[in-house]
A and B are shown apart, each in its own frame.
Chain A
Amino acid sequence: MDALLGPTGPWVGKGGALSTVALQKIRKQFGTTAVVQDVSLEVADGEVVALLGPSGSGKTTLLRLIAGFENADDGAILIDGQDVTQRSALERRCGMVFQHYALFPHLSAGENVAYGLASEKLGAAARHARVTEVLRLVDLAGYESRPVTALSGGQQQRVALARAIAPRPKVLLLDEPLSNLDPSLREHTRRELRDLVVSIGITTVLVTHEQEEAFDFADRIALLHRGRLEQIGRPESLYASPATPFVAGFVGRTSRLAAQAIAADGAGVLVQAAGVEWCATGDPAVRGDCLLLLRPEAVRFGVAGAAGKVVRRRFAGAMAYYAVELPGGDEVEVAESPDAARVGELVHLQPTGVGAHSFAAGS
Chain B
Amino acid sequence: MLRRWLPLALLLVLGWLVVEPLALVAVDAVRENGTWTLSAVRAFFSEPNERLAAWNSVWLAVASVVLGACLGVPLALLTGLVDFPGRKLAGVLLALPAVLPPLVGVVAYLFLYGESGLFAHLVVAITGMEKAPWRFEGAGAVLLIHATTMYVYTYLLVRGALASFDPALLEAATSLGASRLRTFRTVILPLLRPAIGNGALLTALTSLASFSAPYVFGGGFRVLPTQLVSTRLNGDISVAMVETLVLVLLSLVALQLASRLGGPATRGAGKGIAPAPKQRRSKVGRIGYAVIAWLAVTWLLLPHLSLLIVSLVPNGAWNTTALPTAWTVKHYATLVTDPERWRPFGTSLWMAAVATAAAATLALAVAVVARDPRRRLSRWLERGLALPWAVPGTVYAIALATMFSRLQPVAGRFVLIGTLWLLPLAYLVRGLPVVGRALVVAIRSLDPSLDEAAASLGAGVWRNLATITLPLLGPALAGAAALAFVTGLGDFMTSVILYTYDTRPVSLEILGAIRDGDLGIAAAYGVVLTVLSAGAFLLSERGPRTA
* Pick from B173, B182, B191, B280: contact of A105, CB under 8 Å: B191
Taking the complex as formed, is A118 at the interface, i.e. its CB lies under 8 A from any CB of chain B?
Answer: yes
Interchain CA distance A177-B411 in the complex, whole Å: 64
Taking the complex as formed, is A233 at the interface, i.e. its CB lies under 8 A from any CB of chain B?
Answer: no
Taking the complex as formed, is A96 at the interface, i.e. its CB lies under 8 A from any CB of chain B?
Answer: yes
Taking the complex as formed, is A90 at the interface, i.e. its CB lies under 8 A from any CB of chain B?
Answer: yes
Q: Are A93 and B191 in contact (CB under 8 A)?
A: no
- Distance in angstroms from A283 CB to nearest chain B CB is 43
Q: Are A106 and B270 in contact (CB under 8 A)?
A: no
Interchain CA distance A71-B279 in the complex, whole Å: 11
Taking the complex as formed, is A98 at the interface, i.e. its CB lies under 8 A from any CB of chain B?
Answer: yes
Q: Are A105 and B267 in contact (CB under 8 A)?
A: yes
Q: Are A93 and B177 in contact (CB under 8 A)?
A: yes
Q: Are A69 and B177 in contact (CB under 8 A)?
A: no
Task: List the A side residues contacting B266 at CB < 8 Å.
Answer: 105-106, 149
Interchain CA distance A104-B166 in the complex, whole Å: 10
Determine the residue in chain B with the shortest Cβ distance to A115: B176
Task: List the B side residues contacting A92 at CB < 8 Å.
Answer: 175
Q: Are B176 and A98 in contact (CB under 8 A)?
A: no
Determine the residue in chain A with the shortest Cβ distance to B174: A89
Taking the complex as formed, is A261 at the interface, i.e. its CB lies under 8 A from any CB of chain B?
Answer: no
Interchain CA distance A98-B168 in the complex, whole Å: 7
Q: Are A96 and B175 in contact (CB under 8 A)?
A: yes
Taking the complex as formed, is A100 at the interface, i.e. its CB lies under 8 A from any CB of chain B?
Answer: yes
Q: Are A106 and B178 in contact (CB under 8 A)?
A: no
Taking the complex as formed, is A167 at the interface, i.e. its CB lies under 8 A from any CB of chain B?
Answer: yes
Interchain CA distance A164-B166 in the complex, whole Å: 17
- Distance in angstroms from A150 CB to nearest chain B CB is 12
Taking the complex as formed, is A102 at the interface, i.e. its CB lies under 8 A from any CB of chain B?
Answer: yes
- A82-96 interface with B by 8 A CB criterion: 88-90, 92-96
Interchain CA distance A286-B178 in the complex, whole Å: 56
Determine the residue in chain A with the shortest Cβ distance to B167: A102
Task: List the A side residues contacting B268 at CB < 8 Å.
Answer: 100, 102-105
User: When each residue 316-334 of chain B gets 1 if its CB lies under 8 Å from chain A and 0 otherwise, what string results?
Assistant: 0000000000000000000
- Distance in angstroms from B311 CB to nearest chain A CB is 44
Interchain CA distance A116-B169 in the complex, whole Å: 13
Q: Are B187 and A104 in contact (CB under 8 A)?
A: yes
User: When each residue 170-206 of chain B gets 1 if its CB lies under 8 Å from chain A and 0 otherwise, what string results?
Assistant: 0111111111001000110011000000000000000
Task: List the B side residues contacting A106 at CB < 8 Å.
Answer: 190-191, 266
Determine the residue in chain A with the shortest Cβ distance to B173: A115
Interchain CA distance A89-B171 in the complex, whole Å: 8
- Distance in angstroms from A115 CB to nearest chain B CB is 5
Task: List the B side residues contacting A180 at CB < 8 Å.
Answer: 269
Task: List the A side residues contacting B271 at CB < 8 Å.
Answer: 100
Known pairs A103-B269, A149-B266; A98 contacts B171 (CB<8 A): yes
- Distance in angstroms from B361 CB to nearest chain A CB is 38
Q: Are B269 and A119 in contact (CB under 8 A)?
A: no
Task: List the A side residues contacting B178 at CB < 8 Å.
Answer: 90, 115-116, 118-119
Task: List the A side residues contacting B269 at CB < 8 Å.
Answer: 100-103, 105, 156, 180
Q: List 23 A-B contacts (CB under 8 A).
A: A67-B171, A71-B280, A89-B174, A89-B175, A90-B174, A90-B177, A90-B179, A94-B175, A96-B172, A98-B168, A98-B172, A100-B268, A102-B171, A102-B270, A103-B269, A104-B187, A104-B268, A105-B268, A106-B191, A115-B176, A115-B178, A118-B182, A167-B176
Task: Please give me the 7 A-B residue pairs with the lowest Cβ-Cβ distance, nearest first.
Answer: A116-B176, A102-B168, A102-B172, A105-B266, A119-B177, A98-B168, A96-B175
